[in-house]
Each structure stands twice: as structure tokens, then as C-alpha cells.
């Protein structure tokens, strides 16, 4: 069994889906793992972790890998699992293992946090039809740059005659938390709103936005 990491705060001890996925990835590097292995690295209940593991199993992300005998022989052995799918982003699954749809900006935001430095193409690459999301991703990125959440680290440039342009590279400099910042329309104009803290990050130019 992998050793327990040193947790720094309660958020790490009671992780959300992204945190549980990181624990699963870490455990799988050491071999088959059980629900109790995951639970032992959090303060979540066995039931909560079991439901998460069941979703991964039904969705085809985990495969059964035998059993581990319990140190107390009168107790049932623990079922073991191995990862068989490792998507770029932590999966969001319904109880039956089907993919749970989320707003595009949440997918963009999770990708930003995972990569730190990225291009617009990186943000859309996980979608089934990336080109249909490109305009929305560019607009969202532009607004987060204006709000000081992102910074351009390398401007778009021409690759060479007939070779098109290399996309701009951006860096996340303000990780606002698990939920993506939203762009809201107010009488004063557009604002970037931190959904985690419940406060306005910045007022930016223009009109429109999502409510």
C-alpha cells in the first residue's frame, strides 16, 4: 500500500472528484488498489469513496484486479482495481458511469489549472468537435486576460512562409478555486465573477456575457 501523503489542509483531506482522481492515479502507480486505500488518504466516508469507485468502474475507467485478504480473516477480502483509462482531465461521471455534461467554461478552467501554460487549442482538444468550441474559448481567455487571471507568455507568431501561425501561449496566474470564474453582464459592463469566493474579480470592457 502506498504511504499516506502529508496533507496540509482540510480541503486535501476531503477532496472533490478532482482530488479523488489524483489519489487514484497515485495509487495505481504502485499497483492494484482498494476502496480502503483511497479512503485512508482522505477523511471521506467509505460509502462516498465506494460510490466514486463504482462510477469509475461502470464507466470503464477501472478494471477488477483480484482481491486482497483482510488481516482479520473473519472479514471479507477487499476488491482490488487497476486503471485502464487515463483521460487528460479527471472524468465527470453520473452514477451509471456515463459522462456528465458540464458547462464549457468548467472544462476550459480545469484544463487551464492542469496545464498552467496552454494554448486555446489545448482548451478545446478534449471536446468531441474542438473547432465548434474555439470561438468560445478565445473569448473566455481574452476576458480572463483582461481580468488579470491569465497572462500571455508568448504572443501568436508567424511560423514561416506558408506555414501559418503558432498560437499564443498563456499562463494561469490566479487560481481562483475549483469552480470556473464566470463572465457576467451588469449595468456597469462586464465583470469576471469568482464563483468560489462569491466576489467580483475585475470589471472589464464591453457588454454581454453569461448569467
Per-residue pLDDT, 163: 61
Per-residue pLDDT, 157: 73
| ∠ Cα 203 145 192 (to 5°) | 35
Per-residue pLDDT, 3: 43
Q: Domain 10-83 is of which CATH architecture?
A: Orthogonal Bundle (1.10)
Per-residue pLDDT, 17: 83
Instruction: Kindly list the domain boundaries of the chain, sorted by start residue.
Output: 10-83, 104-204
10-residue mean pLDDT profile of the chain (211 residues): values are 40 67 94 95 90 96 94 89 89 90 89 91 84 90 95 80 76 92 85 88 66 38
Phi-psi group of 160: left, alpha or beta (phi > 0 → left; psi -120 to 50 → alpha; rest → beta)? left
Q: Domain 104-204 is of which CATH architecture?
A: Orthogonal Bundle (1.10)
Q: Report d(CA 72, CA 63) in Å as an integer.
A: 25
Q: Which residue has the cell 467509505?
A: 46
Amino acid at each position: 500500500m502506498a504511504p499516506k501523503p502529508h496533507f496540509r489542509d482540510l480541503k486535501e483531506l476531503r477532496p472533490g472528484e478532482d482530488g479523488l482522481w489524483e489519489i487514484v492515479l497515485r495509487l495505481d502507480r504502485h499497483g492494484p488498489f482498494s476502496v480502503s486505500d483511497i479512503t485512508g488518504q482522505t477523511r471521506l466516508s467509505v460509502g462516498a469513496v465506494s460510490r466514486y469507485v463504482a462510477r469509475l468502474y461502470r464507466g470503464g475507467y477501472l478494471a477488477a484486479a483480484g482481491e486482497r485478504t483482510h488481516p482479520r480473516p473473519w472479514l471479507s477480502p477487499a476488491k482490488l482495481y487497476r486503471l485502464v483509462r487515463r483521460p487528460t482531465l479527471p472524468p465527470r461521471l453520473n452514477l451509471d458511469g456515463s459522462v456528465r455534461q458540464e458547462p464549457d467554461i468548467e472544462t476550459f478552467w480545469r484544463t487551464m489549472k492542469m496545464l498552467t501554460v496552454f494554448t486555446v487549442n489545448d482548451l478545446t482538444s478534449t471536446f468531441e468537435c474542438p473547432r465548434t468550441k474555439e470561438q468560445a474559448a478565445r473569448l473566455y481567455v481574452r476576458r480572463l486576460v483582461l481580468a488579470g487571471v491569465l497572462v500571455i507568455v508568448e504572443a501568436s507568431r508567424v511560423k514561416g512562409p506558408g506555414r501559418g501561425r503558432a498560437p499564443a501561449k498563456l499562463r494561469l496566474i490566479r487560481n481562483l478555486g475549483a469552480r470556473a470564474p464566470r463572465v457576467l453582464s451588469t449595468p456597469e459592463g462586464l465583470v469576471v465573477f469568482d464563483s468560489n469566493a462569491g466576489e467580483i474579480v475585475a470589471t472589464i470592457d464591453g457588454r454581454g456575457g453569461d448569467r
